[in-house]
Amino acid sequence: MTETQVQSLIPLKTQWFHIMLSLAGGEQHGYGIMQEVLQRTTGKVRLWPAMLYGSIRRMIEVELIEESKERPAPEEDDARRRYYRLTEFGRRVLDAECERLQELVRTIQTKRAMVTE
């Protein structure tokens, strides 16, 4: 995937960003993603099942994430669960979005410093 394709997805939709951030640490199933986002945002972002699975479907279509073929040990698994992971393209898009957000924070900090001088 080209840099143009990466940039065409920036800025990421909020729910996509949170899903991808959850997957940046490794494979995860849908309910695990929902719980991680809820915990990480201290309840400020809630991914309801319809939104989560609709987003996952669309993110698979644009090749940001993929369903994993690997499964946990049977005693730790539920056969109904689907596990997802970032693709290499997804990692590049997430990195680009993180850089964009860092630049915004730097801009805000610079403007605040100018006001206090």
Beta bridge partners of 86: 65
- pLDDT digit string, tens, across residues 89-103: 999 999 999 999 999
Length, in residues, of the chain: 117
DSSP string over the chain: --HHHHHTTPSPPHHHHHHHHHHTTS-EEHHHHHHHHHHHTTTS----HHHHHHHHHHHHHTTSEEE-S----GGG--TT--EEEE-HHHHHHHHHHHHHHHHHHHHHHHHHHHHH-
pLDDT at 70: 75
Beta bridge partners of 66: 85
Fold assignment, 3-116:
Arc Repressor Mutant, subunit A (1.10.10)
Half-sphere exposure of 107 (CA within 13 A, CB side): 6
User: Distance between CA atoms of 64 and 86, rounded to whole angstroms?
Assistant: 6
Q: What is the arithmetic mean of pLDDT over 68-95?
A: 84
- pLDDT digit string, tens, across residues 30-45: 999 999 999 999 999 9
The domain locations on the chain are 3-116
Q: What is the arithmetic mean of pLDDT over 60-79?
A: 81
